[in-house]
Amino acid sequence: MPDTNLPRRMTGHGEVIETSAPIGDAMKTTTCYMCACRCGIKVHLKDGRVRYIEGNPDHPVNRGVLCGKGSAGIMTQYAPSRLRAPLKRVGPRGSGEFAEISWDEAMEIATGWLKAVRETDPKRLAFFTGRDQSQSLTGFWAAQFGTPNFAAHGGFCSVNMAAAGLYTVGGSFWEFGEPDWEHAKYFVMFGVAEDHDSNPIKIGLGQLKARGAKFVSVNPVRTGYSAIADEWVGIRPGTDGLFIMALIHELLRTDRVDLDFLVRYTNAHWLVVRNPGGADDGLFARDADGKPLAWDRARGAMDAATPEMQPAIVGEHVLPDGRTAVPVFQLMAERYLSRDYAPDAVAERCGVPAATIRRLATEIADIAFKHTVTIEQPWTDTLGRRHERMVGRPVSFHAMRGISAHSNGFHTCRALHLLQMILGAVDVPGSWRYKSPFPRPIPPGPGPAGKGAKPNTPLAGNILAFPHGPDDLLVHDDGSPIRVDKAFSWDAPLALHGMMHTVIGNAGAGDPYEIDTLFMFMANMAWNSAMNPGEVIRCLTETKEDGSYRIPHVIYSDAYFSETVPYADLILPDTTYLERWDCISLLDRPIGNAHGPGDAIRQPVIQPDRDVRGFQEVLIELGARLGLPAFVKEDGSPRFKDYPDYIVNHQRMPGVGPLAGFRGEDGTKKGVGEPNKDQLQRYIENGCFWKHHLPPEQLYFKHANRAYLDDAKAMGLIGKADQIVLQIYSEPLQKFRLAAQGHGAKQPPDAATRARIATYCDPLPIWYAPLEQQGHDTAPFPLSAVTQRPMEHYHSWGSQNAWLRQIKGANKLYMHRLTAHKLGLAQDDWVWVESRNGRVKGQLALMDGVNPDTVWTWNAIGKRAGAWNLSPDSPEATRGFLLNHAISEWLPAQVADARRFANADPVTGQAAWYDLRVRVTKCAADEIPVTDPHPEALQRPPGLAAAPSIVREPGA
């Protein structure tokens, strides 16, 4: 690059340029938290202020790059909306009347409320932690407290992806897997605007493009990643399942199926009992030890895991006990070969021509079967067989909320995994790969904790875990839900991440019961994470006859003046990501990738200039004050001095703690080892992360790779080193269905629930019209309405950042040019977006790259006036609009007395944001050009100074 020996140069018109000035006077590494991607950053400081944040080139997540948000972190650090001290509500909820109080007082108030709950009925605490990156601590704390009512934001986020993946392939898209960016020759992305893997996806797309691989994006909107796709498939929202099943249909029809892969690595050959009406119908045929059976062509029924057997994949077989059974493959093939899934049958509904579907199937098959990738690397499988090389089918898939945020998303995502399996494209070179610590057993671990909650008693186990069947559900004997959000109940048996979107509504309605304290962290529930903000605000402010609030206590920890702050009774102001310790743990959402597991920390790089405390610190102290067993010593004194002390010394199981790196007294152990008092120092020296690089023989086939599984077990990533057999046919789902058909001790309580479970707990992927659209007349609402994340904003909190809000200060409703023409609408027209539930006013923008039956807008750009310390005339509050006002958290009632089901996936409880149907009409000429609903402006809390009108140097 440019050469110079002169540090200072005279150039141009006599100007002296300092070309070699040091960036700052100090540099510290830490982990970015402008989003959940967890990139490594180097923070340069000058005179105690942040001067420049750059990507850490050594970091495995981002390898030196930063996104648009990460690069603007400096302006979030210095945002004038940062809360300054604990606040106690002194006026009515929502009035914004607060008094600043000391931390001592705040802790006393919180302890008082929580102690009373714990001593009487711990489930009356609902602890929901939103966009939490410390769930291994918060979940553990909740279990110690003894309430089953804990979850983070996953239920309204992407649990469909997590659940479908974990119950099918033992990993998932989203955060537990990634495409083989180095080898894929064909990459299909479904419904992704940005995702959590923000920078890795961008780096990967750059790599794909450089190699000339083909990139197909299936998305109703052609922006962002879809814009650089070689082919854009502008699908109609909610129909991906049909589209994928049509691809499967084509592959089956033309026998382009990797049968070897199927019988080696999936349950394709496992036998399913055929006994219509019987209690065992649809369950796997098993031997006396419970091992699933397959049919060997020579020897008949035998352990499906037997090496070298010749399994039959079709045919009806009579088991030794006389029952008949058919292989999974046959059930699968029968279903998807049906004409219902032929391209011609789905084309119209998907908005994708049949010829395109056929061509895509052809291209995928061609790459998978004729352009294999071979890596000359021997490996050994779980049966002890050595393979000389790794041969892969270089077709990769990735999917996220475009599939996930629909009420049919669980099955659609399972269908996509099925497509991967029949192509033999799971963790092979060129395909989608597991990110360590995945794969995990299917499903992983025991069922969720939460039964038998008692005063002053911790719950044993994980609150968010994996039901294997009806017995694991959190329901009372009468079938009613144990959890206030109804997760793990018959309403949503696989609600692995809880259902944060129903908590406030349920608590407000006392359905299934009322709660005492709502304790939230980092979730803007009164605005963008509510499916219907007006209703959430109503529940939060609703009083009983005696004038007391229906939800008596609300504690909230935010770092900024968000829309939710005014609705809490007690505010525990958090630090910013540059001011605190954090732990990005293998027990929660680590930073592993296909090359190996990893985890990371945040260290404080600057001192807070306000009276704020890290939430984790506060939680640990609350734990001690409440006497939660794991947080106090025998004598009742606090067990942990502070959060770093917890990170280093807490052990979940012997040798297993929050951080997996540098364990053992000398810091040489990985995964399992005694606590190391220098552990954090070692992380800091290493750039605030730890990464274990898998040896080349462990890089693929992890689900059946002997060396990988043994090492993963040794490191504590998995409990057993057995082969993880991918599940085309899901037995746990069939168990729920059998219960709905009247078998077993635990059954759905009423007809409506019974019907739902029987229909939607199908053990093979199905497609159905989104529930919201089944439940009401959609004819008056002809358009689908979805949102997309803007790459440079993170949900609601980008707008307090003076730079990011210049890029997007307001959002418009995007519509296809031809659709607008038909509706007589023009660019920049003010329009009403009306759904069955409500309406919201915004401005129109026209484009070509959108499905003609779909409208969309940027997520969470619209803000409530006054929030975030923005002046009420800001574009965010006047022209920006929040689509959530038109969404409902409940499905349309079908009959007058129908019980209320969440507007969610019936299997996982995933909020169905993108099932929304709307009509768009032009505002009357006399309607003012300001968004509507436009709730009154929020008052700045005490202590928060008015924002400056000009920013010269950040933080100055």
Partner 1 sequence: MTELPPPSAKKLGLVIDLDTCVGCQACATNCKEWNTGGHLGPLPDLHAYSAGAEGVWFNRVHSYEAGEGEAGRTVHFPRSCLHCETPACVTVCPTGASYKRAEDGIVLVNTDTCIGCGLCAWACPYGAREMDEDEGVMKKCTLCVDRIYNETIPEPQRQPACVITCPVGARHFGDLGDPTSKVSRLVAERGGYDLMPEMGYAPVNKYLPPREKPAMKPASLEEAAPTPLDIRNPLLRWLDRALSR
Partner 2 sequence: MNPAPSIVLFTTASGAGYGLLFWLGLLRALGLVPASPAFGLMALLLALLLITFGLLSSLKHLGRPERAWRALSQWRSSWLSREGVAALATYVPAGLLFLALLLGNAPLAMLTGLLAAAGAVATVWCTGMIYASLRTVRQWHHPMVPWGYLVFAGFCGAALLAPLAALWGQARIPAIIAALLGAGAIALKRAYWDSIDAPKPAAAPTIESATGLGRIGATRPLDPPHTEQTWLTREMSFRVARAHRVKLRRLTLTGFALATVLALFALPLPGALAALLLVPAAAIACAAILAERWLMFAEATHTVSLYYSGDA
Binding to partner 1 by residue 343, rule CB under 8 A? no
Q: Which is nearer to Mo ion, 163 or 660 (CB)?
A: 163
Query: In Å, how far are 260, 265, 316, 332 from 269, measured between CA atoms?
Result: 11, 10, 12, 11
Q: Where are the beta strands (DSSP E) in 354-470?
A: 373-375, 379-380, 386-387, 390-392, 395-399, 432-434
199, interface contact from ligand MGD, partner 2, ligand SF4, none, CB < 5-8 Å by kind: ligand SF4
* Distance of closest approach, residue 849 Cβ to partner 2, in angstroms: 8
Binds 759, which of partner 1, partner 2, Mo ion, none (CB < 5 to 8 A, cut-off by type)? none
Binding pattern to ligand SF4, positions 62-101, x when CB under 6 A?
A: x---xx-xx-------------------------------
Our finding on whether 726 is near ligand SF4 (CB under 6 A) is no
Closest residue to ligand MGD using C-beta atoms: 402
Instruction: Show the tokens assigned to 707.
Output: 């060396």
Q: Is 157 in the site for Mo ion (CB under 5 A)?
A: yes
Beta carbons within 8 Å of 677's beta carbon, 6+ residues apart: 648
Residue 585 zone, left/alpha/beta (φ > 0; ψ -120 to 50; rest): beta
- CA distances to 527, 560, 667 from 566, in Å: 12, 11, 46
Binding segment for ligand MGD among 248-256, 337-345, 523-531, 816-824 (CB under 6 A)?
523-531
Q: Which residues, 6+ apart, have CB-to-CB distance to 700 below 8 Å? A: 375, 379, 390, 392, 427, 428, 429, 433
Identify which range of 173-181, 199-207, 285-293, 591-599 contacts partner 1 by CB under 8 A: 199-207
- Measured between alpha carbons, how far apart are the two ends of the chain, in Å? 34
By CB under 6 A, tell whether 153 contacts ligand MGD.
yes
Site track for partner 2 across 870-909, x = CB under 8 A: -----x----------------------------------
Q: Which stretch binds ligand MGD (CB under 6 A): 150-158, 380-388, 840-848, 923-931?
A: 150-158
CA-to-CA separations, 874 to 250, 799, 862, 952, in angstroms, rounded: 52, 10, 10, 20
User: Which region, judged by CB under 5 A, interacts with Mo ion, from 153-161, 241-249, 575-583, 603-611?
Assistant: 153-161
Closer residue to partner 1 in complex, CB, 74/126 = 74
CB atoms within 10 A of CB 368: 27
Query: Which of residues 59, 131, 153, 222 is near partner 1 by CB under 8 A?
Result: 222
Binding mask 267-306 for partner 1 (x = CB under 8 A): --x---------------------------x--------x
Note whether 808 binds partner 2 by CB under 8 A.
yes
| 210 to 239: interface string for partner 2, x by CB under 8 A | -------------x----------------
| CB of 3 vs partner 1, minimal distance in Å | 9
Tokens of 832: 């009403």
Nearer residue to ligand MGD within complex by CB, 275 or 356: 356
Going 639 to 641 to 647 to 648, the CA torsion angle's sign is: negative
Nearest-angstrom CA–CA distance, 407 and 725? 27
**82 DSSP β-pair partners:** 560
Interaction of residue 806 with partner 2, rule CB under 8 A: yes
Strands 125-128 and 150-151, by their bridges, are: parallel
Q: How far is the CB of 527 from ligand MGD (least distance, A)?
A: 7
CA–CA separation, 259 and 329 (whole Å)? 9
Rounded Cα distance between 2 and 8, Å, is: 14
Helical residues (DSSP H) of 598-650, grouped into ranges: 615-626, 643-649
C-alpha to C-alpha distance for 765 and 418, rounded to whole angstroms = 8
Residue of 34, 399, 712, 911 that binds ligand SF4 (CB under 6 A): 34
User: Looking at beta carbons only, is 752 or 845 nearer to partner 2?
Assistant: 845
Closest to 190 (Cα-Cα) out of 503, 479, 414, 373: 414
Whole-number minimum distance, CB 13 to partner 2, in Å?
9
Question: Which residue's CB is nearer to ligand MGD, number 365 or number 860?
Answer: 860
- Say if residues 402 and 241 touch (Cβ distance below 8 Å): no
Contact flags string 631-670 toward ligand MGD, x per CB under 6 A = ----------------------------------------
Please, are residues 180 and 392 in contact by the beta-carbon 8 Å criterion? yes
H helical segments located in 125-266: 135-145, 154-157, 159-166, 198-211, 224-227, 240-253, 259-265
Stretch that binds ligand MGD, among 2-10, 234-242, 474-482, 633-641 (CB under 6 A): 234-242
CA gap 185, 213 in Å, rounded: 5
* Residues between 424 and 443 that touch ligand MGD (CB under 6 A): none
By CB under 8 A, residue 340 contacts partner 1: no
**Whose Cβ is closer to ligand MGD: residue 114's or residue 612's?**
612
From residue 790 to residue 809, the character string flagging contacts with ligand MGD as x (rule: CB under 6 A) and all else as - is -x-xxxxx------------
Interface with ligand SF4, residue 199, by CB under 6 A: yes
Angle, CA of 341, 347 and 348, to the nearest 5°: 120
For residue 78, which amino acid is it?
A: Y
**66 is an interface residue for partner 1 by CB under 8 A:** yes
| Cβ contacts of 429 within 8 Å, gap of 6 or more | 180, 183, 373, 374, 375, 390, 391, 392, 394, 700
Question: Among 787, 686, 950, 955, which residue's Cα sits nearest to residue 60?
Answer: 686
The nearest distance, CB 566 to partner 1, in angstroms, is: 18
Task: Return the one option of partner 2, partner 1, ligand MGD, none that residue 192 interacts with (CB less than 5 to 8 A, by type).
Answer: ligand MGD
Which one of partner 2, ligand MGD, Mo ion, none interacts with residue 808, CB within 5 to 8 A by kind? Answer: partner 2
Q: Which is nearer to partner 2, 661 or 880 (CB)?
A: 880
Give the residues lining the site for ligand SF4 (CB under 6 A).
32, 34-35, 37-39, 62, 66-67, 69-70, 198-199
Give the residues lining the site for partner 2 (CB under 8 A).
223, 806-810, 845, 847-849, 875
Give the residues lining the site for Mo ion (CB under 5 A).
157
